[in-house]
Amino acid sequence: MESSTLYAPNVTKIVKKNGLSEAIERTDRNIINSILQQFPSKENVFSVNNLNSRVVCLFRDMQTVSYSTLQKIYVLSEKVKKINIMMKRRCVEVQIVKDNQKIPVKIKKRPNIQEIEQCANKFLDKQNIHKSDRRVCAEIVKLLYKMTWGGVACKLTMNLFGDTYQFEVGSLRRISYQQLTSLKKISDLISDIHVNFNSKLLTFKVVRCNEYITLNEIKNNISVKKQKV
Amino acid sequence: MDTSKMADLVNWEIDEQAFGKLTEHARKHLYPFKWGDNQDIELDVLGYVSNTPGIIYEISNVYNFSESEMSAWQHVFKGYGAHEVDLDLDTLNRSIIITVYFDPNNLAQKKTSSSVLYKIVGCINYIPNFIWFYGLLALWNPQRYMLQM
- pLDDT tens-digit series, residues A128-180: 788 888 999 999 999 999 999 888 999 999 998 888 999 999 999 899 999 99
Of B52, B50, B53, B32, nearest in space to B41 by CA:
B32
How does residue B24 score in pLDDT terms, banded at 50, 70 and 90? very high
**DSSP category for residue B80:** T
Give contacts of B11 with chain A, Cβ < 8 Å.
115, 118-119, 122
C-beta atoms of B3 and A173 within 8 A: no
Give contacts of B12 with chain A, Cβ < 8 Å.
none
> What integer pLDDT is reported at residue A49 of this predicted model?
87
Give me the DSSP letters along A30-75: HHHHHHHHH---TT-EEEEEE-SSEEEEEEES--EEEHHHHHHHHT
- A164 touches B at CB < 8 Å: no
Partner residue facing A150 (CB), from B3, B50, B93: B50
Write the burial class of residue A75 (CB in 10 Å: 0-12 exposed, 13-18 middle, 19+ buried): exposed
Q: How many CB pairs under 8 A join A and B?
A: 72
Q: How far is B124 from chain A (nearest CA, A)?
A: 32
- B56 touches A at CB < 8 Å: yes
C-beta atoms of B9 and A200 within 8 A: no
Amino acid identity for residue A67 in this structure: Y
Give contacts of A167 with chain B, Cβ < 8 Å.
none
Q: CB–CB of B108/B18 below 8 Å?
A: no
What's the helix, strand, coil split of chain B in %, to 5?
Answer: 45, 20, 35
ipTM for this prediction? 0.70
The sign one gets for the Cα dihedral A97, A98, A104, A105 is: positive
